[in-house]
Structure 1
Amino acid sequence: MPTPPLTELSDRAREIFRLVVEGYLESGIPVGSRTLASEGVLNLSPASIRSVLSELEARGLLAAPHTSAGRMPTESGLRLFVDGMMQVAQPSAEERAAIERRLAQPGPIEAAIEATSAVLSEISGAAGMVMVPRRDARLAQMSLVALDQGRALAVLVGQDGSVENRLLHLPAGTGSSSLQEASNYISAHLAGRTLAEAALGMKAEIASGRSALDSASRDLVERGLAIWSEDAARRPVLIVRGQAKLLDDTALGDIDRVRSLIDDLENKQSVAELLDSAREAEATRIFIGSENRLFALSGSSVIAAPYRDREGRVVGVLGVIGPTRLNYARIVPMVDFTARSLGRRIG
């Protein structure tokens, strides 16, 4: 059923709808007519409120769980509320300072990304996620260092001073001269280029027979490139923290949904693809329940925002995942502020 526009709702219906949604998001419990009447805001009898609740249910905006006489928003209702009625609460000065302190801790950027996922979990009461930026660092050299019979260490050095090591298994009888020749050849092609750029050039040169490498050195070059490519493909692109927060008191009554959500989070590649769809967004994006097929069973929501470097280039996406009753008004601006803070940290 398509979501009706707000203009189709009377002022009374809009107000009751808003109170039900806000009450449910705060408590996680369906809101009944007696509760609304007792609050004294509406100045309406429970019977009048029930009539409006029935109308909103007929429009597909509210649902009445069989275990309760109260109403809760449907996914369509949440979408209407988030897009047209929600009043966001900007982070306080104390909250902004706390986030920036966490991200400003000295250390490598990986530590800042870990801190970001943790702080997102803390501020949302759900799970925090950060997609690691796609780093195409400019490289300086790569060395193949013999360890023992049959093994070498492939050492990759970036122009920014970063160093990464990978273990490389060698063919029987590989000599030190072949390791040196392969190292020199790779380093000559790496200078100032990304690994992907250098690999294309090296593969084309080897395939055409233009390289002066002997067969043993060619094999080492190809093995060296393969180990880096394979490792990059397997490397997690998503950091998730705070899954335990999904198991709160209200979750115990819906344990199958929570189990489904945790299973979804184990499939990091699919979650990363969802976050990646927010890379080009101008503002924070909100995915509610089955709007995304990945969370159709768990009925979860994702709030995601891209983060950018100082030149304004998108380098990754961060966000929060949890039940659809997330406090959107508070979390959306928090996610947006955290994205900007991480962007400044990356530089």
Structure 2
Amino acid sequence: MIAALPPSLSFPELTSRAREIFRLVVEGYLDNGQPVGSKTLAQLGAAAGVNLSPASIRSVLAELEGVGLLSHPHTSAGRMPTEVGLRLFVDGIMQVAQPTQQERAAIERGLSEPGPIEAALAATSAALSDLSACAGVVMVPQREPQLAQVSLVPLSPGRALAVLVGEDGGIENRIMDLPMGVPPSALIEASNYITARLAGRTLAQALGQMQAEIASGRSALDAAAADLVARGLATWSEDGFSENGRRPVLIVRGAANLLDEAALNDLERVRSLLDDLENKQSVADLLDVARQADATRIFIGSENRLFALSGSSVIASPYRDRDGRVVGVVGVIGPTRLNYARVVPMVDFTAQSLGKLIG
């Protein structure tokens, strides 16, 4: 008999025979999405060197079901893994298969997409989606860039354009309201003052220093230029340009892959799944959990609240820049019945490749 299994079950508590039969059930289910019967297991077992009669296999299946690793759909004589069973398989018995040369080449082609970095990320997400038959996702947390220059350019009476140039070459333009009668010299003075305090700093860091200098009277600005800097601070603060105020960029490709035959037979699951994907901020929040991990994370079904109702799994891995800082997350969203042994190393390889691209 198999001992009743606590929530912290580990595979050594299974007999070698039960462990092998369990493996065959899970792999058979992941391969075709159908419950696996005792006759099929007898054939698979014989091929694997496990010679048991269907009656003996049924006895082990009943025990595995009794401890919560397998379930028995009422419409089928076969067994399929529960979410607990899938978790134990992934953590304790699965043997991963490294990406093939063709799979690596497809991912690397996406990374070589010309143009902005977003184009390469989108192409990589699409390639990962095609290879895994899941939805590919890439999250790029927006870190505040270090700025190199600020220019205040008069537009019309009462309005100016603030041009922010990042050290990475990025440019952001913002409209500022001005008091009437501000001379051009005040705009130049304020621009020079701000730019001098941006070198090697993020905007939030520079703003803190400028605010402190103006409040303490240590700045060399005249009243008009000081007012312009204060107005700029207000404009940037309202715009949410802060260390933690910018929303992440989330790229999703291949969502149609999630609408498999099983999903189409359950319209409520389809509706729930599409609603989940539509809520990109919630998807980003889920991926942000993986961002804190040291390696690839796997969320199976109800282990994540977002996809609990749709019965989907998420495999996600953080990717890092040359300094080892996590700069984003890449992964896939698919049915709980996905090929974890193949997809997990594929996601891991993509994360490593993205890290090389980001540099």
TM-score (norm 1): 0.89
Which deviations, in whole Å up to 9, do the C-alpha atoms of 1:175-219 show, x marking residues without a partner? 463544443332222122111211221233334444434364144
Q: How does 1:140-289 map to 2 (within 5 A)?
A: 140-148=148-156, 152-160=160-168, 162-170=169-177, 173=180, 175=182, 177=184, 178-211=186-219, 212=221, 213-214=223-224, 216-229=227-240, 233=245, 235-289=247-301
**Compared CA separation, residues 126 and 186, structure 1 to 2 (3 A):** same
Does the CA-based 8 Å contact 2:142-2:248 persist in structure 1? no
Does the CA-based 8 Å contact 2:291-2:329 persist in structure 1? yes
Shift of 1:19: 1.2
SS of residue in 2 equivalent to 1:277:
helix
Paired amino acid for 2:231: L
**Compared CA separation, residues 113 and 245, structure 1 to 2 (3 A):** same
Matched, 1:7 2:18: no
Q: Distance in 1 between matches of 2:15 and 2:109?
A: 46
Q: Distance in 1 between matches of 2:147 and 2:241?
A: 18
TM-score (norm 2): 0.86
Q: Distance in 1 between matches of 2:39 and 2:22?
A: 15
Q: Distance in 2 between matches of 1:204 and 1:240?
A: 42
Paired amino acid for 1:229: G
Q: Distance in 1 between matches of 2:181 and 2:111?
A: 46
Greater shift, 30-39 or 116-125, is seen at 30-39
Number of residue pairs matched by the alignment: 346
Shift of 1:60: 0.4
Greater shift, 268-277 or 243-252, is seen at 268-277
**Compared CA separation, residues 153 and 30, structure 1 to 2 (3 A):** farther
Does the CA-based 8 Å contact 2:11-2:92 persist in structure 1? yes
Q: Distance in 1 between matches of 2:319 and 2:181?
A: 46
Greater shift, 101-110 or 337-346, is seen at 101-110
**Compared CA separation, residues 185 and 252, structure 1 to 2 (3 A):** same
Q: Distance in 1 between matches of 2:153 and 2:249?
A: 28
Paired amino acid for 1:225: W
2:110 aligned to 102, 109, 113, which one?
Answer: 102
Which deviations, in whole Å up to 9, do the C-alpha atoms of 1:40-84 show, x marking residues without a partner? 535433332222211111010011223333221111101110011
Which deviations, in whole Å up to 9, do the C-alpha atoms of 1:15-60 show, x marking residues without a partner? 2211111111121222222332354535433332222211111010
Please list every run of 5 or more consecutive structure 1 residues that lacks an aligned counterpart in the other structure.
Answer: none
1:299 aligned to 305, 311, 328, which one?
Answer: 311
Matched, 1:85 2:93: yes
Does the CA-based 8 Å contact 2:141-2:247 persist in structure 1? no
**Compared CA separation, residues 87 and 127, structure 1 to 2 (3 A):** same
Q: Distance in 1 between matches of 2:181 and 2:253?
A: 44
Which deviations, in whole Å up to 9, do the C-alpha atoms of 1:214-251 show, x marking residues without a partner? 36414432234225425983544322222121112221
What percentage of residue pairs aligned between the two structures are identical? 67
**Compared CA separation, residues 114 and 175, structure 1 to 2 (3 A):** farther
